[in-house]
Structure 1
Amino acid sequence: MIYLILSILISSGLFVIFKYFGIFKVDVLKAIIVNYLVAFSLGFLLAERKIPITEIYTQQWFPGALILGALFISIFFVMAMTAQKNGVSVTSIAGKMSVVVPVFFGVILYNESVTFLKVIGIIIALVAVYLSSVKDEKSNNKGTLLYPVLLFLGSGAIDTLIKYIQSTHVDDRDISIFSGTLFGIAFVFGIIILAIKTIKKRTPFGFKNIIAGIVLGVPNYFSIIFLIKALQNKNFESSTLFTVNNVGIVIVSTLIGLLLFKEKFSVKNRIGVVLAVLGIVIVAMA
């Protein structure tokens, strides 16, 4: 249970950090690249069982880590953009209501329970994602709804893959080094993207981007570690655990958005927040 609580608190903190990225004009891509380098380093430094870097590619979980690394750099960028354009709580809801994806695959791959209540909860969750993301005011920014939708789908894919790889290929002693590897792969993809952008327009890396990346990298590493450790609990179905984890993050992040950043919500947004909690609780009860 302690790992689940820590996962909720640290993951909520990531949304706050991204919000401050916008406030302090941090270059998101550069900060994310540094963040992955920090998380990669922590993964190998804190590993219970040492595996030479030259042998990492021989591990059964390496192909999965490769896919997750590419998804991480993509979805983290989308998460940052969503937090800046839509707010902390909207970002949390769009990302964490993606629980419907691993719940669906939990039923398909692991024969987990499916009931009428669980289906109703998933439908309510999908409606909540839209209502919490849509803006009442007219805007020429077509990305306002696009970013939450991409975050929803991408986060669901990440959670599903993490559960599958953790349960089928990753030894308990290799959690840290597995996490470090996928962060390292994300770092490589990030460097490639940055190199392409630099060819088009050369800009200084910026000291504040390095600091921002370090601040992000430490909690990012532990958010994955605690989630994987929580998934090792055999007393809960993965669909139930993801549900409890995600609703906790939604609630904590929403409170942070309201209290710390004084975020304002339209009637639709408020209904979306309520439906998000309702939908995810129904899934848990089911």
Structure 2
Amino acid sequence: MYALLLSLISSLFVGFFIKFLKIKEIKKLFIVVFINYVVALIVCLMLFNDVINQSTLNKSLSPIAISLGILMPSIFYFLNKSLNKSGLAKTDIFQRLSLIIPVILSFWLFHEIFTWSKFAAIALAFISIVLLLYKKSTKDGNFNTFYLIAVFIGYGTVDTLFKILATNKNIPYIAALFLVFIFCAIVSGLYLFLSRGKIHKKFIFYGLVLGILNFSNIYFYMKAHKIFSDSPTLVFITMNLGVIIGGSLIGKFYFKEKLTKNAVAGIVLAVISVILLALIQIDIL
């Protein structure tokens, strides 16, 4: 479980850092995004230089790696647009509910066995998300369906593609991760080149920090999928619910946001659903 826990912690720090920075301008955003992927590349090469070579890179080159390289930096653009057009509340809902895509596809693409105990855990997970985000979803404000749907499909697709990549025994996943970072750096560098505005040095530093956090998040996320290859639902739901629970607690104690009764009930149901999934994983249920 250590890989899943480390991925979750890293993901929470990534979300906290981005929220803390409050970047709105596209140019500033892609400075951070581009430097982030360059740093991730360097860290990956430094730590795993012995397994990254021409042979493993050739085996890892695939349409999935290229797709992830395009999708991951692109999501930052749509996420930023959605935040500006529809606000944080609605964007957050669509981002978290994107776990519906990989969870449903896991029974089809990965041939995960359906059981009623899994169905109950998944149902509790979805109910907890609704409770956690219910108050946010009722706020008035501007609304742009296109960007919200792009966020929903984008995050759900990335989760699914990483699962496929991590569980393919013919693909060296460290080399595949390195290739994904290369494509991400190229695409985000192109976005940066096409965007207008001045380059601020402090955002280069922010990119350095984000790169380390993002590398840790993605590396341990893929490792968790390898460890729990027979139960991708456990990884999908634990990560998404963990981010929501952790984000709620960070919001309460750091950003001084209030936890509603719905949120508290949602957190309790989320914990129960994760415990159920863990018990299912070790064949107790």
**Normalising by structure 1, what TM-score?**
0.78
Cα offsets for 1:216-260 (capped at 9, x unmatched): 000101111111111222575111232223322221121111111
Contact conserved, 1:135 with 1:266, CA < 8 A, in 2? no
CA distance in 2, matches of 1:96, 1:86: 12
Give how far 1:188 is off: 1.1
Match of 2:226 among 224, 232, 247: 232
Q: Per the alignment, in what secondary structure is the counterpart of residue 261 of structure 1?
A: coil
Match of 2:177 among 171, 176, 179: 179
Give how far 1:206 is off: 0.7
Give how far 1:184 is off: 1.6
**Normalising by structure 2, what TM-score?**
0.78
For residues 202-213 of structure 1, what are the structure 2 equivalents within 5 Å?
Answer: 203-213=197-207
Give how far 1:3 is off: 1.0
Match of 2:42 in 1: 41
Cα offsets for 1:68-91 (capped at 9, x unmatched): 11111122344566678426x973
Match of 1:138 among 130, 140, 143: 140
In structure 2, the CA distance between the partners of 1:16 and 1:75, relative to structure 1 (3 Å rule), is same
For residues 67-78 of structure 1, what are the structure 2 equivalents within 5 Å?
Answer: 67-78=67-78
For residues 14-53 of structure 1, what are the structure 2 equivalents within 5 Å?
Answer: 14-22=14-22, 27-47=28-48, 48-52=50-54
Give how far 1:181 is off: 1.6
User: Bigger shift: 250-259 or 13-22?
Assistant: 250-259
In structure 2, the CA distance between the partners of 1:160 and 1:183, relative to structure 1 (3 Å rule), is same
For residues 115-264 of structure 1, what are the structure 2 equivalents within 5 Å?
Answer: 115-116=115-116, 118-119=118-119, 122=122, 132=133, 134-139=136-141, 141-143=142-144, 149-168=149-168, 171=171, 174-198=172-196, 203-234=197-228, 236-264=230-258
CA distance in 2, matches of 1:24, 1:195: 17
CA distance in 1, matches of 2:217, 2:83: 18
Amino acid aligned to 1:179 = L
In structure 2, the CA distance between the partners of 1:20 and 1:271, relative to structure 1 (3 Å rule), is same
Contact conserved, 2:129 with 2:241, CA < 8 A, in 1? no
Contact conserved, 1:231 with 1:238, CA < 8 A, in 2? yes
CA distance in 2, matches of 1:170, 1:256: 40
Contact conserved, 2:3 with 2:220, CA < 8 A, in 1? yes
In structure 2, the CA distance between the partners of 1:263 and 1:94, relative to structure 1 (3 Å rule), is farther
Give how far 1:180 is off: 2.2
Give how far 1:61 is off: 3.9
Match of 2:283 in 1: none
Unaligned runs of 5+ in 1: none
Indicate the RMSD between aligned Cα atoms, in angstroms. Answer: 3.5
CA distance in 2, matches of 1:267, 1:147: 30
Q: Per the alignment, in what secondary structure is the counterpart of residue 112 of structure 1?
A: coil
Cα offsets for 1:195-234 (capped at 9, x unmatched): 2223xxxx22110110111110001011111111112225
Cα offsets for 1:160-208 (capped at 9, x unmatched): 111112222554xx4333212212211111122222223xxxx221101
Contact conserved, 2:60 with 2:173, CA < 8 A, in 1? no
